[in-house]
Amino acid sequence: MNEIFPRTSLEQWRVLMAIVEHGGYAQAAEALHRSQSSVSYAVARLQESLGVALLEPEGRRMKLTAVGDALLRDARPLIDAALRLEGRARALDQGWEPEVTLAVDALFPTRLLLKALAEFAGSCAQTRVQVHEVVMSGADEALYAGKVELAVVRRVPQGFIGDWLMDVELVAVAAPGHVLFELGRDLTLADLVMHNQVVLRDSGERNPRDDGWLGAERRWTLGNAQTAIEVVEAGLGFAWLPIDRVESQLADGRLLRLPLKCGQTRKGDLSLVYADPEHTGMAVKALADCLRAVAARP
């Protein structure tokens, strides 16, 4: 009986996926650290082997044909499975993974992250750690794209299972000289409408979402939590900020709580999510244990 081997390779499908994700051959080549000619050749061979057109131009970008879209959907699980298999082989061979990738939402207290990493370094000194700092759906995208093995998220994305990690309190604050304090009374949300609100931008690009009260007519949207705190501290707006990140500013008067009748504080819960709970390496489990331990301490 003759053995039948596939005429296409997972590498070719991965190149096609990169072209679609990044919008063209040159962008895919840069993302994959390959030459543009090798990217073009891989897709040309793939289309030749299949006998169908997979891509077509749309302005300056390349998009999938209807056939290409259907076939790539079928190929994605195979690529993901192959990547997981390779990762599993490396973990089994080395015992401890050489590297762990973690996505952490901006709500997670920095002091706890530093403690967790310090404890992890004490037990897994040979394992490198890559930390992706994200906001809201940025963690979802990191999990879906296979960029991280572990994530601290605000909302467990569809298709994954997470364990509650901790609650985080956010408090409405502004600088002492902000005009809102000149009203000299308890504030309502209506008082905030005409003033500048500072918010964090969702770091996800595919399906960004909003969070919390966004009723102000004017809004400054920033991508970094520390920058947002400094903008508020400079008197340029008000915001709901994680209390853990502004404790020192509240203690020394650089920031004050807004005297809202309701909604002065709100809570957000954080969950811990494994990208692949059935094939998790020892180092990933160790880092998860460290995160749980520091979150559980008073």
Nearest Cα to Cα of residue 272 among 175, 163, 171, 196: 163
Domain boundary among 57, 73, 92: 92
What pLDDT score does 291 carry? 97
Rounded distance between C-alpha atoms, residue 150 and residue 221, angstroms = 27
Assigned domain for 1 exists: no
Q: Which amino acid makes up residue 173?
A: V
Distances in whole angstroms, Cα of residue 156 to Cα of each of 116, 138, 168: 21, 12, 16
Rounded distance between C-alpha atoms, residue 193 and residue 190, angstroms = 5
Query: What does 180-240 look like in DSSP terms, one character per residue?
Result: GGGG-S-B-HHHHTTSEEEEEPP--SSS----S----SEEEEES-HHHHHHHHHTTS-BEE
**CATH at 58:** 1.10.10.10
What pLDDT score does 21 carry? 87
User: Same structural domain for residues 32 and 132?
Assistant: no
CB atoms within 10 A of CB 102: 23
Rounded distance between C-alpha atoms, residue 83 and residue 10, angstroms = 10
What pLDDT score does 91 carry? 53
Domain boundary among 92, 124, 150: 92
What pLDDT score does 189 carry? 86
Rounded distance between C-alpha atoms, residue 132 and residue 290, angstroms = 17
**Residuewise pLDDT in 10s, the chain (298 residues):** 456 788 888 899 899 988 988 988 999 899 889 999 999 999 999 999 989 998 888 887 888 999 989 998 998 888 888 877 776 566 556 667 888 999 999 999 999 999 999 999 988 877 889 999 998 788 889 998 889 999 999 989 999 999 999 999 999 999 999 999 999 999 998 889 889 989 888 776 666 655 655 667 788 888 888 999 999 999 999 999 999 999 999 999 999 999 999 889 988 899 999 999 888 888 999 999 999 999 998 6
Q: What is the domain extent for residue 198?
A: 99-298
